[in-house]
Amino acid sequence: MIDNEPSLSRLRRLAADEPANWPASLTDPATFTALDSWSQVIRRAYGYTTYRLETENENQVTGLLALTHVHHPIFGNYLSTSPFGSYGGFAFSNLEARDQLLNEARLLASELGSEYINIRWSGDPAGEPAPHSWVQQPLYATYRLDLCAEPEELMPTFSSDHRNHIRKSLKKGFILKFGHLDLLDDAYEGLARSMHELGSPYHAKNYLHMLADSLGDRLEFAVIYTPDGKLAGAGVFILHGKVATNLHANILRRYRSDYAGEFMYWKVIERYCQRGFQVFDIGRSLIGSGNETFKMKWKPRKELLAYWYALKPGAELPTLNQKNPKFAFAIATWKRMPAFLVRRLGPFLIRGLV
């Protein structure tokens, strides 16, 4: 029987200076990318506006949606949740709230002349199919490792080869330091160099500085050094609720054969086990990529990400990822460009690839 009673639910767009007052039951699944602190960094660093929507029922928030408006001369005009994150910025406690938020997102996109909306969240694509008129693009997964009080209890779950590589890495004399702004320079240098090696643009150092300032002790830099003090790689980890998330982590190419990546990840796992975190989110990867192969060695739960798109009439699904053959030449060229030019152009390019 259809309920014909009028809905008590209402939808609001929060004012630009209005703090979000959202319950943990929604912000935990929506992740740190739904928080005002994250939106403020995006605005300060790149000038983008985040539109925050919420649904309420009897003074209880039942859904939230934070959409960042990207307008870039190369990559177009679009709205997206979770800018520069894997997923998040969207959560709801019932389908009515979900549909109200998605309908309002379409209205907002029309107002802004956006070509498409991208909702990136951690819903199960199989169990939570895209709503009518939205298109699902199953390209990415995230990899969540359940932690325990004693990290050594995880070792037997790994393959014998992987255990051997971890043990070899521990004998190489690498040093991993965790910190905050005291490690900013080395963290940026490790990430910028490694991203250049991979053929990808990266943010300016000031972006990482803003993140650290805004998130405070919810952000940690990790920097790996060789025994003689040379930089070998770096990572940025975000702590939200009981989850520690790998935002960025890369190893310089020359140290990969020494299993520096295995060393860093194992030390990160040890740290967050000992600090009582329940989950280590190893981060997003393209399904079938080399990154996925490395992450699966840690025996995480592979969780497909639900990426929903609402397209402007006549528009095609965007392909802003490494699987797009159009990017192959650009990636190869980027690798050969001098560092000073890469670091100048990188922030301009990456601001369109949220």
pLDDT in tens, the chain (354 residues): 333 344 568 999 999 999 999 999 999 999 999 999 999 999 999 999 999 999 999 989 999 999 999 999 999 999 999 999 999 999 999 999 999 999 999 999 999 999 999 999 887 766 677 888 899 988 999 999 999 999 999 999 999 999 999 999 999 999 999 999 999 999 999 999 999 999 999 999 999 999 999 999 999 999 999 999 999 999 999 999 999 999 999 999 999 999 999 999 999 999 999 999 999 999 999 999 999 999 999 999 999 998 999 999 888 888 877 777 778 888 999 999 999 999 999 999 999 999
The rounded distance, in Å, linking the Cα atoms of 259 and 266 is 11
Q: Which residues of 290-299 are buried (b: 16+ CB within 10 A; e: fewer)?
A: ebbebbebbe
- DSSP output for 176-211: EEEESGGGHHHHHHHHHHHHHHHT-----HHHHHHH
- Rounded to an integer, what distance in angstroms lies between the CA atom of residue 44 and that of residue 294? 34
State the pLDDT at residue 129: 79
Domains of the chain, first to last = 10-138+305-318 (3.40.630.30), 143-303 (3.40.630.30)
Q: How far apart are CA 206 and CA 228, in angstroms?
A: 28
Give the residue from 28, 23, 17 showing the smallest Cα distance to 279: 28
Q: CA-to-CA distance for 71 and 77, rounded, in angstroms? A: 4
Q: In the numeric block, which tokens belong to residue 274? A: 């000992």
pLDDT at 5: 43
pTM for this prediction? 0.93
How distant, in Å, are the alpha carbons of 140, 182, 187, 343 from that of 339?
29, 24, 16, 6
The predicted structure's pLDDT at residue 1 = 30
Contact 271, 147 (CB under 8 A): no
List CB contacts of 57: < 8 A, sequence separation 6 or more.
8, 9, 10, 97
Residue 9 structure tokens = 């639910």
The encoded tokens of residue 292 equal: 């996925």
Nearest Cα neighbor of 68 from 86, 47, 54 is 47
DSSP 47-59: ---EEEEEEEETT
Q: Determine the length of the chain.
A: 354
Residues in contact with 92: Cβ distance below 8 Å, sequence separation at least 6, in sequence order: 26, 55, 62, 63, 64, 98, 101
